[in-house]
A and B are shown apart, each in its own frame.
Chain A
Amino acid sequence: GAVVSQHPSRVICKSGTSVKIECRSLDFQATTMFWYRQFPKQSLMLMATSNEGSKATYEQGVEKDKFLINHASLTLSTLTVTSAHPEDSSFYICSARDPVSTTSNTEAFFGQGTRLTVV
């Protein structure tokens, strides 16, 4: 089936630095990818929609200048957490749809997630 690969799986960074997370669709082209954040014992919260070749759209309350999204190709979206602070520590997960999937057209495939710890 479709595979989405996310890298790195875990990162620890110092407060004030920036961290880039990559999300790749390995066997399909994804014009749209989604970025989620999950705090412990909470639900996945959609942060933004990454659109290939155009600007990302952000959910209400998500700072676009802090969470930079780039979707430069049909198989790669990146999320950069700029000037990271301890409160940004979370589990970040990307997902993508295979537009030609034979199952539900809204089925989403998830990356393995990135556990970010800001110290």
Chain B
Amino acid sequence: RKEVEQDPGPFNVPEGATVAFNCTYSNSASQSFFWYRQDCRKEPKLLMSVYSSGNEDGRFTAQLNRASQYISLLIRDSKLSDSATYLCVVNRGDSSYKLIFGSGTRLLVRP
């Protein structure tokens, strides 16, 4: 089983749509959770950290369910510029600060 699993997609949605991505992780000791965005042939960039209580940043909402070891990302009112690969990332759960990446979910927003 992969340490971090994501649906690879692609999710093909029209502008203005709401889309949700899910992610599961296997290490119950993980304490830090993130969503990163990666554009084609570029480095990943932090989209948002994910907190236990859930958190929102503009059109983006992240949720964490520790009991189910499940993370989600909701994007409202999709823009063309949201087209990218979204990476679910968790820390390894030890003191090393190492990050484990999911393989990413690809989003395509069409006009």
Contacts from A to B (Cβ < 8 Å): 6, 32, 34, 36, 41-46, 49, 91, 93, 95, 97, 103-108, 110-113, 115
Contacts and interface: CB of A to CB of B under 8 A. Distances in A.
A72 to B, nearest CB: 21
B26 interface: no
Contacts of A115: 41
Given A106-B32, A107-B34, A107-B49, A34 B103 contact: no
Contacts of A41: 8, 103
A43 B102 contact: yes
A49 B102 contact: no
B99 A42 contact: no
B49 A49 contact: no
Nearest to B97: A106
B86 to A, nearest CB: 12
A106 B46 contact: no
A61 B4 CA distance: 19
20 contacts: A34-B98, A41-B103, A43-B4, A43-B87, A43-B103, A44-B101, A45-B101, A46-B99, A91-B41, A93-B44, A104-B34, A106-B91, A106-B97, A107-B34, A108-B46, A108-B97, A111-B43, A112-B42, A113-B42, A113-B43
Task: Bin the interface of chain B by size.
Answer: 20 to 34
Nearest to B96: A49
B49 A110 contact: no
A106 B42 CA distance: 21
Given A43-B102, A43-B104, A97-B97, A107 B87 contact: no
A48 B100 CA distance: 12
Nearest to B92: A46
Interface string B76-111: 000000000001000100001111111110000000
B59 interface: no
B29 to A, nearest CB: 13
